[in-house]
Structure 1
Amino acid sequence: MKTIASCVQEIIASSPFLEEGLSRDIINFSALAKDLNQPISEMLRKPVKDGAIMMALRRHQQPLHLENSSRLKAVFNQLGDITVRSNLSDFTFQNSKTLIHSHSQILEKISANHQIFYAFTRGMFESNMIISTSEKESIFEAFKNETQIGLQDKLSAISIYLPRGNSKIAGLYYQIFKRLAWENITIYEVVSTTNEFTIVVEDHLVDKAFSVIKRLKD
């Protein structure tokens, strides 16, 4: 059976920015209670009082404050080099039996050139490749018999080297995504390995995104 408290919990859990504001004590409970009155009334299918919602908000148990977690702080303090690569293009192809062969042609061509950025992700139905724009014509040639779904130019990648054991830290990626979202930075693509995390953004956002990532160490 739903209660006002469970409705408050459900709404807050689905609204990261709201949860953040509550944890930092920068939201007026009275004003928020009024704002939540209609959705909670609809969820319970009966009218509710603002005072009852405000009481539920005050009693709401915040999850562990991740930013104050000693383990999370330690990881951010140990972040390795942050590198930026520009002039990238993002290709999306429909999966096929010959797609891997097309990729092998590109890998053979760029294997000796360590200056070329390359990242490949295969999904259930499509595959994505981010590569230096200088190789664009080579991609068109190697994949000429494949079905191209998308292409985006003028992209930049910001790579962060993470300390070992980062995969055991709850909320690590959440903190990175949250801070980027607060700055209204749209992430075009994400590429991740065990100890390396890369976000891809449009060129006009790269300086702003780099500043946010750099401040993670502060």
Structure 2
Amino acid sequence: MRTIASCVQDIIVSSPFLEEGLSRQIINFSALAKDLNQPISEMLRKPVKDGAIMMALRRYQQPSHLENSKRLRKTFKQLGDITVRSNLSDFTFQNSKTLIDSHSQVLNHISTNHQVFYAFTRGVFESNIIISTSEKESVFNAFKNETQIGFQEKLSAISLYLPSGNSKIAGLYYQIFKRLAWENITLYEVVSTTNEFTIVVEDDLVDNAFSVIKRLKE
């Protein structure tokens, strides 16, 4: 049987901004209770009182394995170097039988230039390349016979080195994405390996995004 408390929990868990506001204690419980009255009444199929909702809000506790996890906090303190790369371009191509051959041409072209930023991901229907804008023409030439779906310039990448064992930490990426969303930072792309996490943003957002990533250690 559903209760007011369970309804409150479902709403908060599905609303990262709301959850963050409650954890920071910057939300007025009375005003929020009034705002949640209608959806909770509909969920329970009966009218509820604002006071009951406010009591449930005050008693709500964020899952301990997320924000309050000692292991999670320790992991953030052990985050490694942060690297920023600018002047990047993003290409998206439709997958095809010849796409790998085109990809190989680019790899051969940049193999001796270790200053070039390059990331390649392949999905079910499309593939993505993020590369230094200086190599833009080489990509266009290599993929001239492929179907291009998207292209974006003026991007920057922020790479964060993660401590070993990070894949076993529940809530690690959740906390990173939540803090970026709270600062209204939209992500153009996300690339990750076992121990590296990279976000790609438009140039006008890179300063704010870097500040958020840097504060993760604090």
| Alignment TM-score, normalising by the size of structure 1 | 0.94
**Does structure 1 residue 64 correspond to structure 2 residue 59?**
no
- The answer as to whether partners of 1:83 and 1:158 remain within 8 angstroms in 2 is yes
Residue correspondence of structure 1 range 57-206 to structure 2 within 5 A: 57-64=57-64, 66-206=66-206
After TM superposition, give the deviation of residue 75 of structure 1 in Å: 1.5
Cα gap change, 1:65/1:17 in structure 2, threshold over 3 Å: closer, same or farther?
Answer: farther
Give the % identical residues. Answer: 87
- The answer as to whether partners of 1:90 and 1:129 remain within 8 angstroms in 2 is yes
Q: Which residue does 1:8 correspond to in 2?
A: 8
- Tell me, what secondary structure is at the counterpart of 1:66? coil
Cα deviation digits, residues 112-133 of structure 1 (max 9, x gap): 1110100011111111110011
- The answer as to whether partners of 1:117 and 1:132 remain within 8 angstroms in 2 is yes
Q: Which moved more, 1:117-126 or 1:59-68?
A: 59-68
Q: Any gaps of 5 or more consecutive residues in structure 2?
A: none
After TM superposition, give the deviation of residue 217 of structure 1 in Å: 1.6
2 CA distance for matches of 1:153 and 1:23? 37
Q: Which moved more, 1:154-163 or 1:37-46?
A: 37-46
- Tell me, what secondary structure is at the counterpart of 1:36? helix
Q: Which residue does 1:31 correspond to in 2?
A: 31
- Tell me, what secondary structure is at the counterpart of 1:102? helix
- The answer as to whether partners of 2:65 and 2:170 remain within 8 angstroms in 1 is no
**Does structure 1 residue 44 correspond to structure 2 residue 50?**
no
Cα deviation digits, residues 89-110 of structure 1 (max 9, x gap): 0000011111111101111111
1:109 counterpart letter in structure 2: H
After TM superposition, give the deviation of residue 65 of structure 1 in Å: 6.5
After TM superposition, give the deviation of residue 70 of structure 1 in Å: 2.1
Cα deviation digits, residues 162-200 of structure 1 (max 9, x gap): 110111111111221122112211111100000000000
| Alignment TM-score, normalising by the size of structure 2 | 0.94
Q: Which residue does 1:208 correspond to in 2?
A: 208
- The answer as to whether partners of 1:159 and 1:198 remain within 8 angstroms in 2 is yes
Q: Any gaps of 5 or more consecutive residues in structure 1?
A: none
1 CA distance for matches of 2:164 and 2:192? 14
- The answer as to whether partners of 2:65 and 2:171 remain within 8 angstroms in 1 is no
Q: Which moved more, 1:151-160 or 1:64-73?
A: 64-73
Structure 1 runs (4+) deviating above 6 angstroms are none
1 CA distance for matches of 2:47 and 2:163? 51
Cα deviation digits, residues 194-214 of structure 1 (max 9, x gap): 000000010111112112111
Give the number of aligned pairs.
218
2 CA distance for matches of 1:73 and 1:52? 33
2:73 counterpart letter in structure 1: K
2:58 counterpart letter in structure 1: R
- The answer as to whether partners of 1:23 and 1:65 remain within 8 angstroms in 2 is no
1 CA distance for matches of 2:37 and 2:62? 20
- The answer as to whether partners of 1:79 and 1:163 remain within 8 angstroms in 2 is yes
2 CA distance for matches of 1:43 and 1:5? 12
- The answer as to whether partners of 2:180 and 2:212 remain within 8 angstroms in 1 is yes
2 CA distance for matches of 1:61 and 1:77? 24
